[in-house]
Structure 1
Amino acid sequence: MERRSFLKASAALSCAATITGCKTSSDEPNKVPEVPPVEETHTWSACLVNCGSNCPVKVFSSDGVITRVEADNETTDEYGDNHQIRACARGRSLRQRTYAPDRLKTPMRRVGKRGEGKFVPISWDEAASTIASELQRIANEYGNKSILKLYGTGAYYGFSSSNCFNRVLNLNGGFLNIYGNYSWAQQNEAAAATGFGSTSGSNLLALQDSDLFIGLGYNPSEMRQSGSGEGYDYLQAIKNNPELEVIMIDPRYTDSMTGKEDTWYPIRPGTDAALAEGIAYEMISSGWVDTHSKSFLDKYCVGYDRQSLANLKAEFEQSGDEQKLAYVPYINPDENYQDYILGQGKFVNEGARTPEWAAKICGVSESNIKNLASKIMNARAPFIITGAGVNRHANGEQAMRSCYMLSFLTGKVGQPGVSNGALPSQGSLSNSGMSGLSNPVKESISFFTFPDAIERGHEMTARKDGIRGTEDLDTPLGADLKAIFAINSNALVNQHSDSNGISKILEDDTKCELIVSCDCWMTPSAKFADILLPDTSWLESNDLVNDSYASGIMGYLVAMKAAIDPLWECKSMYDMCALIADKMGKGGEYTEGKDEAGWLAELYEKTRTNANNANAQPPLPATYEEAQEQGVFRAFNGTPVVALDSYINGGNPVNTPSGKIELFSLKMAQKGAEWEFDDTIKGDYISGLPMYQATWEGYDDEDTSEDYPYQLVGYHTKGRTHSSYHNVPWLREAVEDAVWMNPMDAGKEGLTQGTKVQVWSKRGTIELPVRVTPRVAPGVLALGQGAWYQPDPTGRMGPSGHVVDIGGCINTLTRYQPSPFAKGNPQHTNRVQIAKA
């Protein structure tokens, strides 16, 4: 029920309960007048936010106005083939988000300083003409590598996606590519270097065969809330296996725990690798590995001991294969995992990675580390998962790889109930999308390094900056960024590290000369646009979407039907890009003779005939219009998936230079030798071995620990997905934005529950309440990421020497420092101070 309707009903009921007053027009003064029934229609839409699930929602409307939104309540809701795909609080608040006061209503042009948020309305004709002429000017003057479509995931459309802008930009001669993402940049590279995909772990159905579950930074109950999400699969899996022992390791006591775990081990942020190495020491030094898993390591892995690397080097030297021969200089048998962990051979001066050594770093006691090792060694089928939070640190690549090692040391990967340390694999149905056309530009930069590309893109290289697609390591990119298209992206300012720093770069419009933002709301990033384009919301859109990338084991499709016409002057991305293409003289090439309805009909037919969708229930009907009436099509795959089954049990090599799981990564060793790093930055190096890297602003960084005694870690809240939904007041009421602090630390600082505090780093200051709770480890502050950056309009300065961010955006505090290998974001590595405001 709508809150307004509830209040009306409450008033009516209280009126009926009185003896006098509340007169009606009838002769019966105490009779509540009948409310005439409201005729409603309903259509199906979806919440396409970047949580990993595109939950279907049922949208009710009357007379062109959305009246309410409900979650999927079809089917008998039995887990498996028929369970409901219930949207969380975010999806259920879509009416409020659609009618939000900050909706962008018309195209606009900037009139003030960049970032001030001062705009004037313009026509669609002027907007399209300006963008088309500026695109052509910039391409002619600076080259197409000076144009970037920024990474953004504010909306996972199916058809009317950011591919529309890809088409426009490619019809203009192309644009600079990006690789990686804010969520998984380092884990993707770490997993690939080891020999698998970062989401290719055993699926959660496989937990039925497990007796031990260990989650390192794994929190599906808050990350994946969908009724067809990983969080629901996880709850079902542990409920259906009451003998399963669940151990969670995290700086914060998350909602994935709350009594569902057997043990919680608080750990200091960024020290997961040290914990893993302490466990590995127990497994190796005790002789357990030699007895139980050495034959597995010899057969399926390389790099465990000196002999395996010596054998690999000899094999490559004798192969005659140029690609293999190229790796030979980087294969050093002395750099093997066993010697590193035991502190022998080449590593004798560094010392053994004992539980005692690890405990001093990670904060998990020596006895608990030994207990963890014992449980892993004694488990019949240990299922270990390393969550993505572990990868968003300054040492994220090696932290992930160090944690992956534990699964392989068991020698049981490939068996029922065992995983490889990666995130679980997912089920999915497939939808066809419109092509973005071919991009003539071959070079790409890391998604995270666009500020560098603005400042010094002309000199960026593969050797220094991880540029891909150049002729060699030292060929420069050759162009600075002069145009940015931020499509459903709040990563321009809000989600990027050092929001104050990037704001300063963007304010200077002599550097990046054109910023176009396409969005539905006036986000902090949209305020930095030169041209603002108002997008239609999901409830105003016809579309065909699948279940996205982390929807768990249930796959589904949603045939969306617009509940209302586009509000104000908003246009779909397809239509707005058609206008721009037409102004460029490329209209026919863009549309290929089809309007939006024509494209949807064509793409639906491709989707309907896709063999991957053959098991959808109900079967996909003949036309898109019929599919829209049905709305939701689902398919549950009830077969356990075991990680690396095709390799361990099927004999298919993995995608590494050796064709085996690489405990010593040849690609990382090569890049560590060939790339250029900054010796003044602690932890800026690449090793072929997975190893704990002490980094700048890490737990053991003495340079910052005195002035900034607390480690700050971000987390995902249930009230936002990244920064999406921050502007919905209902969700701000339901999910508190406060910095979490352990009671021992709060007592030391003289802070009590709800006190308004300032938290600051070298980069900025934020102001918000403190939540005093034992659910966060001592010495650690935790803050939900995604709050909207809002420098105090009065210009009030904080202890950092910057204007205080009263919005409480964590990226006001985070450091811009690309990681060594993936050139990804280290946004959980922060040293901060806190005091009463």
Structure 2
Amino acid sequence: MFSSDGIITRVEADNETTDEYGVNHQIRACARGRSLRQRTYAPDRLKTPMKRVGKRGEGKFVPISWDEAASTVASELQRIASEYSNKSILKLYGTGAYYGFSSSNCFNRILNLNGGFLNIYGNYSWAQQNEAAAATGFGSTSGSILLSLKDSDLFIGLGYNPSEMRQSGSGEGYDFLQAIKANDALEIIMIDPRYTDSMAGKEDNWFPIRPGTDAALAEGIAYEMISSGWVDSNSKNFLDKFCVGYDKDSLIKLKAEFQASGDPKKLAYVPYINPDDNYKDYILGEGTFSTKGPRTPSWAAKVCGISETNIKKIASKIMNARAPFIITGAGVNRHANGEQAMRSCYMLSFLTGKVGQPGVSNGALPSQGSLSNSGMSGLSNPVKESISFFTFPDAIERGHEMTARKDGIRGTADLDTPLGADLKAIFALNSNALINQHSDSNGIAKILEDDTKCEFIVVCDCWMTPSAKFADILLPDTSWLESNDLVNDSYASGIMGYLVAMKAAIDPLWECKSMYDMCALIADKMGKLGEYTEGKDEAGWLAELYEKTRTNSNNANAIPPLPSTYEEAQKQGVFRAFDGKATVALESYINGAGKVNTPSGKIEIFSLQMAQKGAEWEFNDEVKGDYISSIPMYQATWEGYEDDETSEDYPFQLMGYHTKGRTHSSYHNVPWLREAVEDAVWMNPGDAYKKGFTQGSKVLIWSKRGTIELPVRVTPRVAPGVLALGQGAWYTPDPSGRVGPSGHIIDIGGCINTLTRYQPSPFAKGNPQHTNRVQIASA
């Protein structure tokens, strides 16, 4: 970073070290990082605190002083807690910025000093896969590290696209590239509705699949492995020893074991263990599943769009592979059937019986490297209840009646104890999820426009995002380039862990303040300044937390060792460590070191937690696919490929994907990136020809929820019958008020969530934003 006279002049990528992969190589900025100067000086930077003067969502504000802003936030916080409940206050999570010591813990502190706030669980990226993986017996990002690909002979990626999502020199995309370059014998199969940059000639085969049908493909492969006798000959002993639920006998034994245990926790699961609900019978169409029929490759081909011949070829390659490495990408989990789609794909690894061996993974996303940084405590939250991150619109409309049984509320006394409070205040901190990243942007906008429902919305951000326009009070944050901080490499940077001792390139612009300083003002107005600061200013906290980070045993491998003071660390800036161990998923469990974290202590093909919740929770029979099965099972859902109710009026499946030009919705306001990565809907040439579209044609796309307008990109890189649109474009209802075929004002920003449905998933209560049926026509 270079500046002159307080102005940033240019941004350069990391050019330190010898740049030898695996020896603390260069981090190298991605396209987004290289655009930070443009982002910092963007015309829509928030420059001063503001308050709303028009209707919510109109974006009409007037500047106010920091004193007025802090006073208003403090008094409204205290009023809402007193008049309603602390459970009526929500801090919405977001991904607009990952900071170090402060982050949103500054706001946690003032909210907790005010008596607490309603908690959330889950996230837009991994909600369903986190729950699915945990129910199976591992973490959703606990797959084998990509370095272990050196021992593999077959790689299968289902919806796996690191090269576009994590593209920096320390990112997972770079690790993936280096791993496959180091193994010439590796055969690579990619399964995705879209031909991604993670392929680009690196794959041996690309199989375009219909969105939301990954589980059907997995079941067709499983049928080949089981019906041929291969599983009985090669992996049955593994399944019997390390898993439960593959066949009827394993569940009979489990039920008897739990009945004889005397353990109240185990006894509670006994009524839900049904040996007839086993995976083998389901796949073969036997026993209680005889009416469903066998999940043959022929059946699967009709659903997923990959031919019967190719499904059999994939199955054959898995069975003949010495060390198959299978990864299920997070895109698979963001569907209406995401929980069981992920579990169905995980089964491919376990059916081989080779999990735990060198070069083999468990189907989960690969493990990452990381260094730890100490953070400021958010203090203790007296409120114990939590809602899914995705259900905050319900909490506004009917929070008082939401329960665990119907809505997945956690922390209540029992399944039927209501939350007991409607949501009256939202703090959206660097979070464009309030409008832009949530399903059904038009629907949530309508809810938020009514300020008699949610009475107070605070947005803290650097830019006038679509969500910022719905604030009552706007607080202008400092950008990364105006911040002193200590940050780590976040959760998905790749194998190399690193810490960055950030030094502000410029002073805070205009009247912007760091979160720490703005929250100190609010705490002062609440009469809680001393408890908030604990006698330290921002520099004092940085020094203390740096010292804790420096002495943290998790950072013992930092090369070079961290200097004795934060100021010295700032002079060097970056500290990196590459762990070259080829860690293998579930290796310690398979080799006899303990149990996995499930009720049975084994990998659960039959999930006891899912069986229990599937029986105890309430679901909507009118919503196709709204149920929880105990075993991995393909679920035909609303607006899925097989949804006859919507297929005639909305013949195309629409899927979202991550582009190189944004991190979710962040960086959308950078013109450089809009030039580099076109915001257009991808369409197969055959479909475009039938519609009469040519390259760049302006089109309207609509669903039951809304209409968007944007160009079309005609390309064979997307499956027939499928439209693909990069997520994160900013929601922009046409100022002229033009109404589209859906009956809503046309979104000229092209935000995919103008079209997506708000329908929490059955188990995780997560987001199904890749499941959409739409129509398309010339604008």
If the TM-score is normalised by the length of the shorter chain, which range does it land in? over 0.9
Runs of 4+ in structure 1 over 6 Å off: none
Does residue 273 of structure 1 match 2:223? no
1:213 aligns with 155
Q: Distance in 1 between matches of 2:556 and 2:356?
A: 28
Name the amino acid aligned to 1:248. Answer: M
Give the partner amino acid of 2:50: M
Corresponding letter in the other structure for 2:155: F
What is the CA RMSD across the aligned residues, in angstroms?
Answer: 0.4
Q: Find the partner of 1:833 among 767, 775, 779.
A: 775
**Superposed CA offset, 1:773-829 (max 9, x none):** 000000000000000000000000000000000000000000000000000000000
TM-superposed CA distance for 1:615, in Å, is 1.6
List per-residue Cα deviations over 1:506-535 (Å, max 9, x = no partner): 000000000000000000000000000000
Look up the equivalent residue of 1:463 and give its one-letter code: R
- CA distance, structure 2, for counterparts of residue 78 and residue 274 of structure 1: 42
Aligned residue runs from structure 1 range 235-254, under 5 A = 235-254=177-196
Q: CA separation in 1, counterparts of 2:94 and 2:109?
A: 17
Q: Give the superposition deviation at 1:651.
A: 2.6
SS in 2 for 1:390: helix
* Distance across 2 between alignment mates of 1:431 and 1:743: 49
Aligned match for 1:551, one of 487, 490, 493: 493
Distance between the aligned counterparts of 2:553 and 2:34, measured in 1?
32
Count of equivalent residues: 779
Structure-1 separation of matches of 2:757 and 2:223: 33
| Structure 1 partner of 2:23 | 81
Equivalent residue number for residue 308 of structure 2: 366
Matching residue within 252, 274, 278 for 1:332: 274
- Which of 110, 113, 120 aligns to 1:168? It is 110
Q: CA deviation at 1:612?
A: 1.3
SS in structure 1 at match of 2:189 = strand
Aligned AA for 1:516? V
Whether 1:319 aligns to 2:261 is yes
Q: CA separation in 2, counterparts of 1:124 and 1:657?
A: 52
Deviation string 1:574-622 (CA, Å, 9 cap, x unpaired) is: 0000000000000000000000000000000000001111221121000
Q: Give the Cα separation in 2 of the matches to 1:117 and 1:263.
A: 49
Q: Structure 1: how far apart are the matches of 2:290 and 2:558?
A: 59
Which structure 2 residues correspond to residues 418-497 of structure 1 after superposition, within 5 A?
418-497=360-439
Partner Cα separation in structure 1 for residue 369 and residue 711 of structure 2? 40
Amino acid at match of 1:808: G
* Structure 1 SS opposite 2:432: coil
C-alpha distance after superposition, 1:217-249 (max 9, x if no partner)? 000000110110110000000000010000000
Q: Tell me how far apart the structure 1 counterparts of residues 28 and 718 of structure 2 sit (CA, whole Å).
A: 30
Q: Distance in 2 between matches of 1:752 and 1:551?
A: 38
In structure 2, list runs of 5 or more residues that go unmatched. Answer: none
What is residue 120 of structure 1 aligned with on the other side? Answer: 62
- Taking the aligned partners of 2:232 and 2:223, their CA distance within structure 1 comes to 13
Task: Give, in angstroms, the shift of residue 153 of structure 1.
Answer: 1.4
Cα separation, 2, equivalents of 1:652 and 1:206: 23
* Cα pair 2:707 2:755 within 8 Å, conserved: yes
Letter in 1 for 2:638: W
The separation in 2 between residues aligned to 1:86 and 1:721, in whole angstroms, is 17
Output the amino acid matched with 2:56: R
Is 1:532 the counterpart of 2:474 in the alignment? Answer: yes
- 1:22-421 equivalences under 5 Å are 59-421=1-363
Match for 2:489: what amino acid? D
Structure 1 residue 586 and structure 2 residue 557: aligned?
A: no
| Shift, 1:406, TM fit | 0.5
* AA at the equivalent of 1:460: M
Alpha-carbon distance in structure 2 between the residues aligned to 1:104 and 1:542: 20
- Equivalent pairs: percent with the same residue? 89
Q: Check whether the contact 2:24–2:496 (CA below 8 A) recurs between aligned residues.
A: no
TM-score, with structure 2 as normaliser? 1.00
Q: Which amino acid aligns with 2:427?
A: F
1:464-511: per-residue Cα shift (whole Å, max 9, x none)? Answer: 000000000000000000000000000000000000000000000000
In the TM superposition, residue 81 of structure 1 has moved relative to its aligned partner by: 1.6
Q: Does 1:769 align with 2:711?
A: yes
Q: What is the CA deviation profile of residues 180-218 of structure 1, one whole-angstrom value per residue up to 9, with x for unaligned ones?
A: 000000000000000000000000000000000000000
Rounded to whole Å, the distance in 2 between the matches of 1:642 and 1:155 is 31
The alpha carbon displacement at 1:82 in A equals: 2.6
| 1:668 aligned to which of 595, 610, 619 | 610
Gaps of 5+ in 1: 1-58
Letter in 2 for 1:141: E
1:710-744 deviations in whole A, cap 9, x for unaligned? 00000000000100000000110111000000000
Structure whose alpha-carbon radius of gyration is higher? 1
CA distance in 1, matches of 2:243, 2:168: 37
> What is the rounded CA distance, in whole Å, between the counterparts of 1:824 and 1:750 in structure 2?
37
In 1, Cα distance between the equivalents of 2:557 and 2:394? 47
Following the alignment from structure 1 to structure 2, what is the Cα–Cα distance between the partners of residues 69 and 537?
Answer: 15
What is the Cα deviation at residue 84 of structure 1? 0.3
CA deviation string 1:148-186 (max 9, x = no partner): 000111100002210000000000000000000000000
Q: Secondary structure at the match of 1:789?
A: coil
User: Which moved further from structure 2: 611-620 or 743-752?
Assistant: 611-620
- SS of the residue 2:434 aligns to: coil
Give the deviation of 1:424 after TM superposition.
0.3
Q: 2: distance between equivalents of 1:529 and 1:785?
A: 23
> How far, CA to CA, are the matches of 1:747 and 1:761 in structure 2?
22
- 2:12 counterpart SS class: strand
Which residues in structure 2 correspond to 1:715-794 (within 5 Å)?
A: 715-794=657-736
- What CA deviation, in whole Å up to 9, does each residue of 1:336-363 have, x standing for no partner? 0000000001101110000000000000
Q: Which residue in 1 is equivalent to 2:649? A: 707
Distance 2:556 2:766 in 1: 38
Which residue in 2 is equivalent to 1:574? 516
Letter in 1 for 2:245: G
Separation (CA, whole Å) in 1 of partners of 2:525 and 2:180? 57
Whole-angstrom CA distance in 2 between matches of 1:674 and 1:771: 47
In 2, distance between residues paired with 1:613 and 1:679? 51
Q: Match for residue 565 of structure 1?
A: 507
How far apart are the structure 2 equivalents of 1:156 and 1:652?
Answer: 35
How many Å separate the matches in 2 of 1:553 and 1:721?
Answer: 20
Q: Which residue of 2 aligns with 1:654?
A: 596
What is the alpha-carbon distance in structure 2 between the residues aligned to residue 430 and residue 614 of structure 1?
10
Separation in 1 of the partners of 2:235 and 2:429? 49
The match for 1:692 is 634
> For residues 131 and 62 of structure 2, what CA distance do their matches in structure 1 show?
44
Amino acid at match of 2:490: S
Q: Secondary structure at the match of 2:725?
A: strand
Q: Distance in 1 between matches of 2:101 and 2:561?
A: 21
